Amino acid sequence: MATDEIGLVVRDLTVAYSGVPAVRGIDLDVPAGHAIGLIGPNGAGKSSALLAIMGAVPHGGSVQVNGEAVDGLAPERVVRRGVSLVPEGRHVFAGLSVKDNLRLGAVGRRSSDGVAETLDYVVTLFPILAEFRDRQAGLLSGGQQQQLAIGRALMADPDILMLDEPSLGLSPTAVDSVFDALATIREAGKAVLVVEQRAEFTVAFCERTHVLHDGVITMTLKPEDATNVQVLTEAYFG
Ligand SMILES: Nc1ncnc2c1ncn2[C@@H]1O[C@H](COP(=O)(O)OP(=O)(O)OP(=O)(O)O)[C@@H](O)[C@H]1O
Ligand SMILES: [Mg+2]
C-alpha cells in the first residue's frame, strides 16, 4: 500500500435520525501524519459524523480507509481496517484495572503480533498508565482516564485515530498533556481526526479545522487563523 493511500477519505457523508438530517453531506480528507479538526456548536453533527465513519450509525455517501471502502461494515470490522475512536466521555471500564482496559483495546487489532510493542509505545506516551497499571480505572483522575481511553484506542494499532471532545471536563494541564500526546501520535504517522469545542486550541493544533454548522461544513480554518478573533467568532456565530 502506498503511503499516500494511508488515511481517511470521506465524501458526501450524510446521517439522519428517523428522517431528520444531522449530517448533510460533508467531505473530509485525513492523511497520514496530519491532524484534522472538526469544531462547531452543540448539535452540529460532529459526533454523528464520527459514529457514521465507525459504522455505528447508518450513513449515506462514502468512507474510505487506506484506499478501501468500509461502508456498511460493522464497527468492529471498521476497527480491524485501522480506525479507532476515543468516544465522547471517555467510557473507560471503571471497575477494571488500567492493564485490563488496555488489554481490551487490543481485541480490535488486525494482527495479534506486536501487542507487547504497542503496549510499550502506549506507556512511553503515557507513563502514568504503567505506574497505575493495577489500579481500577474508575479511581484515575479525568485527565488520566482520558490518557487511558487514548491508550486503549491505540492498542488496536490504528492508522487513523478519531477523538470526540478529548478535552471535555479536563484541567488546562491535562488538556495540554492530551494535545502533546496527539502531536507525538501525529508525528508517528497516524492520521488524527479530532472533534472539539475548544476552537482556538484546535485550530492552532490541526493542519486544517472544519467548522460544522447544522450538519454542513461552513468554513475551513488554518493554524494562522487561531489568533484571529474575528475569523473564530464568525466561524461560530456565522
Ligand atoms: N441517537 C440519536 N437519535 C436522534 N437524534 C440524535 C441522536 N444522536 C444525535 N441526534 C441529533 O442529531 C443532531 C447532531 O447531534 P450530534 O450529537 O452529532 O452533535 P454534536 O455536534 O456532536 O453535538 P455536541 O457538541 O453536543 O456533542 C442533534 O440535533 C441531535 O439531537
Ligand atoms: Mg458530540
Nearest bound ligand to CA 46? Answer: 1
Express each pLDDT in 127-153 by its tens digit.
Answer: 999 999 999 999 999 999 999 999 999
Q: For residue 4, which of 49, 75, 64, 77 has the smallest C-alpha distance?
A: 64
Q: Given the CA of residue 45, which atom of ligand 1 is nearest to it?
A: 18
Q: Is the CB of 42 within 6 Å of ligand 1?
A: yes
Torsion angles phi and psi, residue 59, rounded to 5: -145, 160
Look at residues 78, 76, 65, 63 and name the one whose alpha carbon lies nearest to residue 1.
65
Residue 2 pLDDT greater than 60, yes or no: no
Could you identify the atom of ligand 1 that is nearest to the CA of residue 197? 25
- The helix/strand/coil state of 190 is coil
> Measured from the CB, is residue 22 less than 6 Å from ligand 1?
yes
Residue 130 makes CB contacts below 8 A (sequence gap 6+) with 123
Residue 232 has a pLDDT of 80
* Parent domain of 175: 3-237
Rounded average pLDDT over 19-40: 97
| pTM for the model | 0.95
Residues that place a CB less than 5 A from ion ligand 2: 46-47
Q: In this structure, what CATH number is given to the domain that contains residue 188?
A: 3.40.50.300
In sign, the C-alpha dihedral spanning 184, 143, 197, 154 is positive
Query: What is the per-residue pLDDT for 236?
Result: 75
Instruction: Say if ligand 1 is within 6 A of residue 45 CB.
Output: yes
200-228 pLDDT per residue, tens = 889 999 999 999 999 999 999 999 999 88
Number of domains in the chain: 1
CA 74 to chain centre: 18
Which residue's CA is the closest to the ligand 1 atom numbered 3?
Answer: 17
Tell me, what's the pLDDT at 93?
94
Q: How far is the CA of 49 from the centre of ligand 1 (A)?
A: 10
pLDDT: which is higher, 90 or 42 = 42
Cβ(23) – ligand 1 distance below 6 Å: no
129 alpha carbon – ligand 1 mean position (Å):
32
pLDDT tens readout for residues 53-109: 999 999 999 999 999 999 999 999 999 999 999 999 878 999 999 999 999 999 989
Across 109-129, average pLDDT: 95
105-120 average pLDDT score: 93
Question: Percentage of residues in the chain with pLDDT exceeding 70?
Answer: 98
